[in-house]
Amino acid sequence: MFILCKWIYICNIVVLLLYFDTICATNVKNVAKLAGVVENITVYVLEDESYLINDNILRSLKLNVSWTPPNGGKQPSSYSIMITSVLNETGINKTECTESSALYTVQNKGPFSSILIPQNKLSNDMPEVQIHPTCTYKIHVYANPRAKPTGKLPEVIYKVPECIGHKCSCADAKSILPTPKVEARRAKKNFVINWNVTSNSSHIRSYVISIGIPLLISKAGHSVYNITKISTVTSTTNTFSWNMKIDGQYIKVNNGYKILIAAMDYRGCLGTQGGFTINTSKTKILNGSTMWLLLAGVAICVVVGFISIVSIYNKNGYQLVVPTRRKQTVSDLSACKLAQWPDLVFQRRNIDIYVERSEETYYKAQKDIFEVPYKYINLIRELGKGQFGKVYLGSLNNNENTLIAVKMLQCSDDACNEPEACRHQLLEEIKIMKAAGPHTHLVGLIGCCTLPNNPICILLEYMEGGDLLAYLHYRRKMKSDDASLCSFEKAISRYANIIEGNKHNNENLYDIIEKQQFIKFALDIARGMEHLQVKGIIHRDLAARNILLTSDLTLKISDFGLSRNGIYVINNMAGKIRQLPIRWMSPEAVCDRAFSSKSDVWSFGIVLWEIGTLGSFPYAGIQDNELLRYLTRDKCRLACPNTISQDIYKIMCSCWNTAPRDRPSFAQLVLDLKTLKKHLHSPHEASNPCYALLSH
Binding-site residues from annotation for ATP: 407
Which of 310, 306, 284 shows the shortest CA–CA distance to 295?
284
- Strand pairing class (181-187; 167-168): unpaired
Cα–Cα distance, 582 to 588 (Å, whole number):
11
Q: Are 456 and 419 a contacting pair, CB within 8 Å?
A: no
Cα–Cα distance, 59 to 247 (Å, whole number):
24
Sequence-distant (6+) residues with CB within 8 A of 560 are 432, 433, 436, 442, 532, 537, 539
In total, the chain counts a number of residues equal to: 696
SS3 483: helix
Q: Are 274 and 283 a contacting pair, CB within 8 Å?
A: no
Which of 443, 522, 476 shows the shortest CA–CA distance to 614?
476
* Beta strands, E only, 37-94: 39-47, 61-68, 78-86
Sequence-distant (6+) residues with CB within 8 A of 558 are 443, 460, 463, 467, 546, 547, 548
Backbone angles phi, psi at 158, to 5 degrees: -125, 130
Q: Are 228 and 259 a contacting pair, CB within 8 Å?
A: no
Core vs surface per residue 560-587: b (16+ CB within 10 A) or e: bbbbebbbeebebeeeeeeebbbbbbbb
Residue 692 CA: distances (Å) to CA of 481, 520, 546, 552, 685: 12, 14, 21, 6, 10
Cα–Cα distance, 155 to 142 (Å, whole number):
9
Cα–Cα distance, 517 to 687 (Å, whole number):
12
Q: Transcribe 281-299 into DSSP letters.
A: THHHHHHTHHHHHHHHHHH
SS3 379: strand
Q: Transcribe 328-344 into DSSP letters.
A: GG-SS-GGGT-TTHHHH
Cα–Cα distance, 417 to 17 (Å, whole number):
59
Element (H, E) at 428: helix 419-436
Annotated binding-site positions: 407
Which of 338, 550, 556 shows the shortest CA–CA distance to 465?
550
**C-alpha atoms less than 13 angstroms from C-alpha of 125 in its C-beta half-sphere:** 0
* Beta strands, E only, 69-112: 78-86, 101-107
Sequence-distant (6+) residues with CB within 8 A of 397 are 344, 345, 348, 376, 378
Question: What is the residue type of 33?
Answer: K
Q: Are 572 and 130 a contacting pair, CB within 8 Å?
A: yes
Cα–Cα distance, 155 to 405 (Å, whole number):
54
Q: Which long-range contacts (CB under 8 A, 24 or more apart) does 667-676 make?
A: 667/247, 667/248, 667/249, 667/530, 667/533, 668/247, 668/248, 669/526, 669/530, 669/601, 669/604, 670/523, 670/526, 670/527, 670/530, 673/519, 673/522, 673/523, 673/526, 674/523, 676/519, 676/647, 676/648, 676/651
Cα–Cα distance, 122 to 579 (Å, whole number):
10
Question: What is the residue type of 29?
Answer: K
